[in-house]
Structure 1
């Protein structure tokens, strides 16, 4: 799980350059998230972790924090 979080942090750091994101920090509350970023994040997760993000997964709460994103990926990997 830590390796998953590190990969997610690495991706997010490209968008949050001036800030060291904490695992439980709400990226929506920081105001940097837009629809283009959301699509890039989903595409990164699908490619990096070989998972499929389905329409029912597109709940903002799944993408709010590094912890919640890692939990989503981990859950997807358990199902495969």
Structure 2
């Protein structure tokens, strides 16, 4: 899971340019996310990490922070 976390952080840093982004920082509250980025994030998770997301997975709380995204990935991998 550590490798997945690093891949996710690298992806986010390409867009955010916030070097001290913490794992629990709310990326929506920080103003980093727009609808285009949200779709790019979903595509990254599906294509680069090989996680198939379903409509019920596309919920704001699943994408608020690095930790929230990792929890979603763990849940999907456990199925």
Normalised by the shorter chain, which TM-score bucket? over 0.9
- CA shift, 1:18, in A, is 3.6
Q: Which segment is superposed worse, 19-28 or 55-64?
A: 19-28
After TM superposition, list the pairs within 5 Å mapping 1:1-80 onto structure 2: 1-79=1-79
Unaligned runs of 5+ in 2: none
- CA shift, 1:38, in A, is 0.2
Mapped to 1, the partners of 2:4 and 2:18 lie a distance apart of: 22
Unaligned runs of 5+ in 1: none
State TM-score, norm by structure 2.
0.93
SS of the aligned residue for 1:30 comes to: coil
- CA shift, 1:19, in A, is 3.5
State TM-score, norm by structure 1.
0.92
Aligned residues: 79
- Shift >4 Å, 4+ stretches: none
Q: CA RMSD in A?
A: 1.0
